[in-house]
Structure 1
Amino acid sequence: MSLPPILSERVRGPVAEYRLAVPVDLPWFRGHFPGHPVLPGLVQVEWARQLAERDLCPDGGFQGLRSVKFQRVIQPDCELCLHLEARDGQVDWRLTLDGLDGPLCSEGRLFFGASQ
């Protein structure tokens, strides 16, 4: 699964922040749901996993997730902020609309390596 367009990214130690574009033509909107496109939760989790694995946990393979909450529907043609914070083989992620202080869309905890 490919990442959306990344408008900006900043990785400093165990913390990473990304501004992501969510254009209308992303393939995940097709059929989910006709006439009322919504970004699937699985896609949100996968974006967090891919970026966490790429930038914060390159040596540990993904093991699972916990405490996942979906708070807000994400529709096309918006910008999201993805905040990742790593510690002890786990990465907490938070996806917000229109910046770090924007409305919370989803959040959870990813586990890498043998940390579970």
Structure 2
Amino acid sequence: MDKRKPTIIDVETAESEAILTLKVDADLLDFRGHFNHFPLLPGVTQIDWALFYAVEYLDTPVTFKGMEVIKFQEPIRPDAKVTLVLNWDSSKHKLAFKYSSQQADRMVVHSSGKMKLGE
């Protein structure tokens, strides 16, 4: 079976926040063909994971109603260790997400965004 999700290293949850530490394994199906000489994790995969883990750890609605803000700043490469922070605002039905990693002496934000969820 083809692997579609990263390896979860750690998960911390609070009422409306989840922080996941992930290893973005090089053998993920999503790296195939995206791109052969410079593989990177597709943006659609990052959105999919944010929604998947929000449903699992924050009990958010499963229905995606659209993106409001999205920024892809730095590529996520095979075998990267990244932190995914999820914040759920139940009053507005909005999920905020941010992928980041520590690289040398600085914190790098790979992507961030907000999506509307509902029933």
Structure 1 and Structure 2 fold alike (TM over 0.5):
yes
The TM-score normalised by the length of structure 1 is 0.87
Displacement of 1:60 in angstroms is 5.3
The residue that corresponds to 2:31 in the other structure is 29
Could you report, residue by residue, the CA deviation over 1:34-58 in whole angstroms, capped at 9, with x for unpaired residues?
1211111110111101111222244
Are 1:70 and 2:75 counterparts? Answer: no
Aligned partner (choices 102, 108, 115) of residue 113 of structure 2? 108
Aligned partner (choices 92, 99, 112) of residue 95 of structure 1? 99
Question: Structure 2: which 5+ runs fail to align?
Answer: none
Q: How many residues align?
A: 113
Verify the 8 A CA contact 2:81 2:101 in the aligned structure 1.
yes
Secondary structure of the residue aligned to 1:102 is strand
The TM-score normalised by the length of structure 2 is 0.85
Could you report, residue by residue, the CA deviation over 1:61-103 in whole angstroms, capped at 9, with x for unpaired residues?
222211010000111111010001111211111110239x720
Runs of 4+ in 1 over 3 A off after TM superposition: 57-60
The percentage of aligned residue pairs carrying the same residue is 30
Verify the 8 A CA contact 1:53 1:61 in the aligned structure 2.
no
Displacement of 1:59 in angstroms is 4.2
More strand per residue: 2
Verify the 8 A CA contact 1:53 1:62 in the aligned structure 2.
no
Question: Structure 1: which 5+ runs fail to align?
Answer: none
Measure, in 2, the Cα distance between the counterparts of 1:59 and 1:35.
Answer: 38
Displacement of 1:3 in angstroms is 2.3
